[in-house]
Structure 1
Amino acid sequence: MFVVTAEKYFSSAIDIELNRKVDPRISVIKVKNTPPFSIYCNSFRNSLFKVMGVCSEFIENKVFFPDNRTQWRKAAFKKSMELINQYNIKVVYTSSPPFSSAFVGLKLKQELGEHIKLITEFRDLISKLVRSGSYKTTRRKSFFEYNLLESSDLVIVDGPHKIKYLKEAHKLTSSLENKIHYVYSGYPSSMNGATVKNKTCHFPKIIRYVGGIRGLSIIPGFDSILIKCAQRYKDKIIFEFVGSVEKKFKAKLTTHNLSNIRFINHVPHYEAEKLTIDADALLLLINDIPYSYIMTSIKIFRYIASMNPIFAIIPSYGSAADIIRETKTGVIFDPGQRDWGENFINSVGQFCSGSDFQFNPDIEVIRKYCSENQFMHIKNLILSL
């Protein structure tokens, strides 16, 4: 098996540890990024100047297609063709975003036709971004998504709500709809129940959020609710945020100098897993924005595997809410409802005191979401082609 990826990434969230865990039977081939992509990143993306940032977004939206890795895809296509011809590869599997990966897969299918089977995995949808008004997308990219659906032999998405959305967004025929299957990312087997038997119980209790918080993921009014909650249960609870947090949001939370609101900067992947398990409870945030109901954050699977209660401030309708209800792993507070903030504060109070707080996770259902079980589903789908 071969994995073709980029040699250099322009991201602060790269986990070097994951490179060391790659199965030795998998050859990872890193294709070098070439100008003007690297020049673009160095000149604009990492610039401290606001004007440069605006230029960066304009270039990303209007010039690069389907995303800002447009130069990388040329080299990736060339390398992929070499590997296919040399090793007589029959199956090409792409995962997006970045959507340039899907672009390479589409070009390979157009070039090789029935010689290969193309499996396209969507972890996000271009058409969703177009419909929600994101400035990073254009309708041209939405048409590109439809071409992918039409050309792929198999399409995988992370949740049933995405299938329903694609059907409505593109008015899919039954033959196209039958190509689409949902398979969740799941949690690693290392996080199965045995790893949480001897967890530390903290006092004050720690409610932890693990992952980045920025932009549209910030729920309006959440900062005020959190401050109020931290003040009310000052000696009983600690809120910890692990990962990159938007500066303005962080500044609001630190205004009152509360010692029980803490921040831990980005940590390696394995450390994030440990912190997820070690918490007394977990915080999940999904803003009530257009099409948020089809989002399935990868962190939710690690959350449910930790066997910790989840305080989920998320839309009550959608993939994330379905999983929490099915596994019985948390309490949902819909940010679109009027009294969600006060309900959240009261529920945290019950958790602190241990009174009237019910938590009875369904272990058998949780195990269904282990990545090994999910990957077996993908394997069976591939074998059925």
Structure 2
Amino acid sequence: MHKVLIITYYWPPAGGPGVQRWLKFVKYLRDYDIEPIVYIPENPNYPIIDESLVDEVPAGVKIYKKPIYEPYGFARIFSKKKTKKISAGIINSKNQSVVEKVMLWIRGNLFIPDARKFWIKPSVDFLVDVIEKENIRTVITTGPPHSLHLIGLELKKRTKIRWITDFRDPWTSIGYHKKLKLTKASQTKHKQLEKLVLNEADKIIVTSKTTKQEFSQITQKPITVITNGYDTTLGNSVALDVDFTISHIGSLLTGRNPISLWKALSELIQEYPDFKKCFKLQLAGVISSDVLESIYFYGLQSFTKLLGYVSHDDALHYQRKSQVLLLIEIDSEETQGIIPGKVFEYMASKRPILGVGPSNWEVGDLIAESNTGKTYTYAQLGELKTTLLQWFQEYKKEELVLPLAEVEQYHRRELTAKLSKFLAWE
């Protein structure tokens, strides 16, 4: 059986979508004659914890750990709440305090490529022996944090392993890079490291066609797209909400703020008494203050239910109960290739998806091809309102269904089959 070492920062009990990609690959790799061995930090600083995911780790999988030093622990002395938000990727560009500005500058310019950089050297020293001991031929690094790719880079120099990089998100083109107050020198350093990793790796995995196109301008190495996916049974196994519930499952960070949607909902409430009577906006996860301010500005506060963070199991439950599922991305060119991991679980729930994002958003093609909903830009107020009203009328007739949804190709087992073929060497 071919052994593969997977180097990842996020692993149960970490919560959120980042942990699930490789947790699910590990779950199915043995079905394709590949034995996964996992390397993770011993004392990580996870912004979200979901203990329910611990039970999903396959029995018998060998896991190696090494302590990690993270400067976020030191930064908490100054502001525990703000440090946790920055660690989780919540960067509010409005009304930043002096402490926030200083922390962002330090994060962006002193910790390149990221604050987990201090794990690189001890990990390399440790894993050289593990690779020899376990007779490992292939190493996979997954980021962010992209510092983990530098572990793979050094291991390739010191051993005879074949190295594959997995980019769950882009590196230098991701939206929050612009908010890190990077100096010109820091921007150049990130670009240099990105180019080095892409050209030294043997193969590259990305989660979107947009990222593949971007990376193809930097390297000639083989690149394949393996999206995220779902690992549940299809269909709706729970009773739907009695209310016309529109739910967003997952964090709504700064910038994911479609004013046109809030306005459309506000107008529907004012124009249709039956809509006002039945409508409920349900938000699960961390919601940034600017998004909440906009929702409340349009008079939606009394219709809004904040669930806070929910476990993965509960998230699946809410998805299947909701009448409509809301998917929102920041309106920018940089986010056109961002495909949120939850979109595939949304698809599997077989509830209509209403997507709001940038022009030429890759998610729009996925949703259209799978017959699982509709997507609009931030400017399409009229179209948004028309679709919502149509779905509401179907809801009243108990006819709001997706009989033609085609999503089986995104099951985690199918995606792992694709990964196993990419891992093969002639």
Q: TM-score range, shorter-chain basis?
A: 0.7 to 0.9
Which of the numbers 290, 297, 303 marks the counterpart of 2:333? Answer: 290
SS in 2 for 1:354: helix
The 1:156–1:285 alpha-carbon spacing in structure 2 relative to 1, beyond 3 Å, is same
Residue 400 of structure 2 corresponds to residue 367 of structure 1? no
Unaligned runs of 5+ in 1: none
Which residue of structure 1 lines up, in the alignment, with residue 47 of structure 2? Answer: 12
Q: Contact 1:314–1:334 at 8 Å: present in 2 too?
A: yes
Letter in 2 for 1:353: Q
User: What is the distance in 2 between the residues matched to 1:151 and 1:36?
Assistant: 28
Which residue of structure 1 lines up, in the alignment, with residue 394 of structure 2? Answer: 354
Which of the numbers 141, 147, 154 marks the counterpart of 2:203? Answer: 154
User: What is the distance in 2 between the residues matched to 1:278 and 1:73?
Assistant: 44
The 1:41–1:70 alpha-carbon spacing in structure 2 relative to 1, beyond 3 Å, is farther
Q: Contact 1:109–1:116 at 8 Å: present in 2 too?
A: yes
List aligned pairs for 1:88-107, cutoff 5 A: 88-107=135-154
Which residue of structure 1 lines up, in the alignment, with residue 38 of structure 2? Answer: 3
List aligned pairs for 1:82-121, cutoff 5 A: 82-112=129-159, 115-121=160-166
Aligned length: 369
Residue 193 of structure 2 corresponds to residue 144 of structure 1? yes
Q: TM-score, normalization: structure 2?
A: 0.79
Letter in 2 for 1:249: V
Which residue of structure 1 lines up, in the alignment, with residue 106 of structure 2? Answer: 59
Letter in 1 for 2:421: N
Letter in 1 for 2:65: K
Letter in 2 for 1:307: K
The 1:218–1:139 alpha-carbon spacing in structure 2 relative to 1, beyond 3 Å, is farther
Cα offset for 1:278?
1.6
1:51-99 deviation line (CA, Å, top 9, x unaligned): 2222211111111121011122233223322311221211111111011
Which residue of structure 1 lines up, in the alignment, with residue 8 of structure 2? Answer: none
Cα offset for 1:27?
2.4
Letter in 1 for 2:132: N
Which of the numbers 27, 30, 36 marks the counterpart of 2:62? Answer: 27
Q: Contact 1:210–1:243 at 8 Å: present in 2 too?
A: yes
The 1:148–1:229 alpha-carbon spacing in structure 2 relative to 1, beyond 3 Å, is farther
The 1:252–1:44 alpha-carbon spacing in structure 2 relative to 1, beyond 3 Å, is same
Letter in 2 for 1:4: Y
1:238-294 deviation line (CA, Å, top 9, x unaligned): 111111101232234245364322111001111111111221110111122122111
User: What is the distance in 2 between the residues matched to 1:211 and 1:298?
Assistant: 10
Which residue of structure 2 lines up, in the alignment, with residue 122 of structure 1? Answer: 167
Q: Percent identity?
A: 20
SS in 2 for 1:86: helix
List aligned pairs for 1:183-222, cutoff 5 A: 183-188=226-231, 191-193=232-234, 196=236, 198-222=237-261
Unaligned runs of 5+ in 2: 1-35, 84-95
The 1:98–1:257 alpha-carbon spacing in structure 2 relative to 1, beyond 3 Å, is same
The 1:130–1:279 alpha-carbon spacing in structure 2 relative to 1, beyond 3 Å, is closer
1:106-163 deviation line (CA, Å, top 9, x unaligned): 1111222xx1010100111223138973436522112211111111111000122211
Q: Contact 1:230–1:239 at 8 Å: present in 2 too?
A: no
Q: Contact 1:327–1:361 at 8 Å: present in 2 too?
A: no
Q: TM-score, normalization: structure 1?
A: 0.87
User: What is the distance in 2 between the residues matched to 1:254 and 1:131?
Assistant: 25
Letter in 2 for 1:66: P
The 1:379–1:77 alpha-carbon spacing in structure 2 relative to 1, beyond 3 Å, is same
User: What is the distance in 2 between the residues matched to 1:35 and 1:258?
Assistant: 38
Cα offset for 1:32?
1.8
Letter in 2 for 1:152: A
SS in 1 for 2:127: helix
The 1:155–1:67 alpha-carbon spacing in structure 2 relative to 1, beyond 3 Å, is same
The 1:290–1:308 alpha-carbon spacing in structure 2 relative to 1, beyond 3 Å, is same
Residue 135 of structure 2 corresponds to residue 135 of structure 1? no
The 1:47–1:116 alpha-carbon spacing in structure 2 relative to 1, beyond 3 Å, is same
Q: Contact 1:96–1:124 at 8 Å: present in 2 too?
A: yes
Which residue of structure 1 lines up, in the alignment, with residue 73 of structure 2? Answer: 38
SS in 1 for 2:302: coil
SS in 2 for 1:78: helix
SS in 1 for 2:210: helix
User: What is the distance in 2 between the residues matched to 1:131 and 1:280?
Assistant: 32
SS in 2 for 1:24: coil
RMSD: 2.6
SS in 2 for 1:294: coil
Which of the numbers 250, 257, 260 marks the counterpart of 2:292? Answer: 250
Letter in 2 for 1:370: H
Letter in 2 for 1:53: E
Cα offset for 1:36?
4.8
The 1:53–1:90 alpha-carbon spacing in structure 2 relative to 1, beyond 3 Å, is same
The 1:161–1:361 alpha-carbon spacing in structure 2 relative to 1, beyond 3 Å, is farther
